[in-house]
A = this chain, B = another copy of it.
């Protein structure tokens, strides 16, 4: 080997994806279109979703049996709703080859990681959360390059094997993602504030709007409420699983909104402008 020869990208022989919606389907599309996997098995409950995933080029084979689907997999990515992920990981562990790596795409991590470490301590599992969701869901929402330049949080613990962690990092990196490493608890606290709270405030704003006023909705309302169009069933699970942290984030938000309201009630123009300026500074730091 010449010294300047880079190692070829490892190609997975078989990857199984449990749940082929927006996230799972997009993973499959990239694995296949980038030549990162030879076979991608799509596992789901509904044959019509599996068919849609296959037609979208997200999977090469499909099955409604998790046990059959993971039997040959080197890597299993569990992309089901958060309330179901720990169960699906444990079932995967019992049915997959010993060497198989398991990760997930759940929006919460502490409960999932704790349950897996308790019920399937020998599973080669590394928790993941790709910050690439949106208001659309299902296999028809899957798109190529969804993870390009997006952040994926991985949540290894002291029980995680370093080599397993490295391979999960390599997996997400091969899809173009940037990796952030956090503890499961720190992850859940942070996403309560930056993801789950915005969902609730967007929903509250949409719901607080009178139907008669909707024809006047312009860019501000449309942007601010966009994620309220997300799947209520999925979001209910996320909010319930992470409710302690979400309640803390709501309390913090209510306090800030209360200060803005007080400035307005008191006609305190200087205070109002200062708060708007502080908020603008935080928003400007992120770009559009």
Which residues from chain A sit less than 8 Å from chain B, CB to CB? 131-134, 150-151, 153, 180, 190-191, 193-195, 197-230, 232-233, 235-236, 239-240, 243, 246-247, 249-250, 252-257, 260-261, 264-265, 267, 269, 272-273, 275-280, 282-286, 288
Contact = CB atoms under 8 A, between A and B. Distances in A.
The 5 closest A-B pairs by CB, nearest first: A232-B276, A203-B279, A131-B218, A204-B257, A206-B279
A283 B206 contact: yes
Main DSSP-derived SS at the A contact region:
helix
Given A131-B216, A224-B225, 19 more contacts: A151-B218, A180-B216, A190-B212, A200-B261, A203-B260, A206-B280, A206-B283, A207-B275, A207-B278, A208-B253, A217-B286, A223-B223, A225-B279, A229-B283, A232-B280, A235-B276, A239-B272, A247-B264, A247-B265
A180 to B, nearest CB: 7
Contacts of A206: 279-280, 282-283
**Copies of this chain assembled into the complex:** 2
A243 B265 CA distance: 8
B134 A211 contact: no
B180 A269 contact: no
A251 to B, nearest CB: 8
A205 B198 contact: yes
A194 to B, nearest CB: 5
